[in-house]
Amino acid sequence: MAKQMKVRFAPSPTGPFHIGGARSALFNWLVARHAGGSFLVRIEDTDLSRSSRESEENIKESMRWLGLDWDEGIDVGGPNGPYRQTERLEIYQREVQRLISEGKAYYCYCSQEELEQERQEQLKEGRTPVYGGHCRHLTEEQIARYKEEGRKPVVRLRVPEGETIAFDDMVRGHVEFQSSGVGDFIIMKSDGIPVYNFAVVVDDSLMGVTHVIRAEEHLSNTPRQIAIYHALGYEVPQFGHISLILGADHKKMSKRHGATSVTAYKDMGYLPEAVVNYLALLGWAPKGEQEIFSREELIRAFSMDRVSSNDAVFDIEKLNWINFQYMKKLSPEELLDFVLPFLEKAGYVQQPLTEEKKDWLRQVVWYVRDRISYGAQAPEQVRMFFEDVPPFEDPEVVDILKQDTSAVILKAFIEALEALPDFTEEAVTAAFKAVMKSTGIKGKAAFEPARIALTGVTKGPGMYEMIALFGREKTLALLRKALAFCKG
């Protein structure tokens, strides 16, 4: 029976969860869910100075937010734990000792200075610097002397010379490296901590990982890792190296291009389903024109053979468009719940809310929904419900209010609204239409002064609905104030 497919995501917790990491996690998750395989998450924290629990928590929390659940690994457990590399040091020690006893690895006592000198000499001769193999065949006496000098050894892998290391990458096709360019590299540092390449191979092997799908930046590590698989006698998994995510200027995506962490997008009011949908399209090209995919549709349609080896460009406009599509699916109730934190943060709303206020807010938010691509845009769009109309200073605005017709229409509109028994959208619409008819002022000449009076600007979403939501008192106060300005 074929081995069950198992993929993994193995983040180093050295900072907030990056959007690129999220995409790697997502691709692995989709591959697993598509094939009915298993998805494992392991924490690679051997870089002690850069790793933190805080980052680990952020990664796990962000993955949960995105709905990328894992079947085995950190927090959920499984038969191959522990799943944090710093808790697996004994396992790496054991494997290193095995390699040493089999003659496939050896202690190296060379000092930094000696290695540097060798490097400089190789560079001078125009050669690629690789370790020359000084400690490959040390005698007992030499070892004893080095120990006496207090030298602390590292462990190096004995890399067979003159071999071609080749593999078929799921994204990049056939890839070849020459082992002579690799040299005997370090697998364990003098403090007993394994290097990334060694730990990753031991873990992927012992944890039964069948497919290693990760960022392109690890492509150059792969020949070293394959050499380690061979030495350890473990089966080499399938590799797939997905391309980098670039900013709009085609440089590697960084803070300069805007937010890079998943948390930042969450905090800006993007929906997890939209982020997942967008990230799936970063490098994966579905068949056909469809762009909005539910989670189930993604699982069904995703395949690594449609993942491009070209770099993917992060396009915030497209993410905004996708998020907008998902926000449109929210009910009035859900939309309010989603944007409420942003309104609170803007100081527009204070908890606790009465049912009446909540009901009104729900209508207000629903009213501007076509203008909000993500949550943080909400306060700006509902501003006119909470803030005073700015003073009439803009020359264009002043010009409009100073037209003779403006005072006429505002005055007539005020009178009509004062007389309204019910201040509903329908009643307000009828009143304004009647005023246009009786004054003979229509179109821009009628609407612009009214809009300016109510919001300070000439454009915005539907005026009658806004007036009904403002209510009688606020509307009349604003219209009277503008009328005074017209006459003044």
Tell me which residues touch ligand GLU (CB under 6 A): 10-12, 44, 200, 214, 218
Q: What is the 3-state secondary structure (H, E, C) of the chain?
A: CCCCCEEEECCCCCCCCEHHHHHHHHHHHHHHHHHCCEEEECECCCCCCCCCHHHHHHHHHHHHHHCCCCCEECCCECCCCCCEHHHCHHHHHHHHHHHHHCCCEEEECCCHHHHHHHHHHHHHCCCCCCCCCCCCCCCHHHHHHHHHCCCCCEEEECCCCCCEEEEEECCCEEEEEEHHHCCCCEEECCCCCECHHHHHHHHHHHCCCCEEEEEHHHHHHHHHHHHHHHHHCCCCCEEEEECCEECCCCCECCHHHCCCEHHHHHHCCCCHHHHHHHHHCCCECCCCCCCCCCHHHHHHHCCHHHECCCCEECCHHHHHHHHHHHHCCCCHHHHHHHHHHHHHHCCCCCCCCCHHHHHHHHHHHHHCHHHCCCHHHHHHHHHHHHCCCCCCCCHHHHHHHCCHHHHHHHHHHHHHHHCCCCCCHHHHHHHHHHHHHHHCCCHHHHHHHHHHHHHCCCCCCCHHHHHHHHCHHHHHHHHHHHHHHHHC
Region of residue 36 (phi > 0: left; psi between -120 and 50: alpha; otherwise: beta)? left
255 is catalytic: yes
Report the residue number, 10 or 479, with the smaller CB distance to ligand GLU. Answer: 10
Cα separation, 112 vs 189, whole angstroms = 13
What is the distance between the alpha carbons of residues 372 and 380, in angstroms, rounded to a whole number?
9
For ligand GLU, the closer of residues 74 and 364 by Cβ is 74
Min separation Cβ 330 and ligand GLU, Å = 34
* 122 vs 221, beta carbon nearer ligand GLU: 221
List C-alpha distances in Å: 117 to 112, 122, 158, 180.
Answer: 9, 9, 21, 20
Residue 317: what residue type?
Answer: E
* Closer by beta carbon to ligand GLU, 11 or else 283: 11
Catalytic residue among 152, 255, 328, 329: 255
**Min separation Cβ 277 and ligand GLU, Å:** 23
| Residue 104 or 214 with smaller CB distance to ligand GLU | 214
If the CB atoms of residues 207 and 469 are measured against ligand GLU, the closer one turns out to be: 207
Q: Report the nearest approach of ligand GLU to the CB of residue 13 (Å).
A: 9
Measured from the CB atom, the residue of 237 and 247 that comes closer to ligand GLU is 237
Shortest distance in whole angstroms from residue 9 CB to ligand GLU:
7
Task: Please say which residue, 33 or 42, places its beta carbon nearer to ligand GLU.
Answer: 42
Beta-bridged to residue 176, according to DSSP, are 166
At its nearest, how many Å lie between ligand GLU and the CB of residue 11? Answer: 5
Least distance to ligand GLU from the beta carbon of 261, Å? Answer: 14
Minimum gap (Å) between residue 363 Cβ and ligand GLU:
47
CB of 55 to ligand GLU, least distance (A): 11
The residues carrying an active-site annotation are: 255
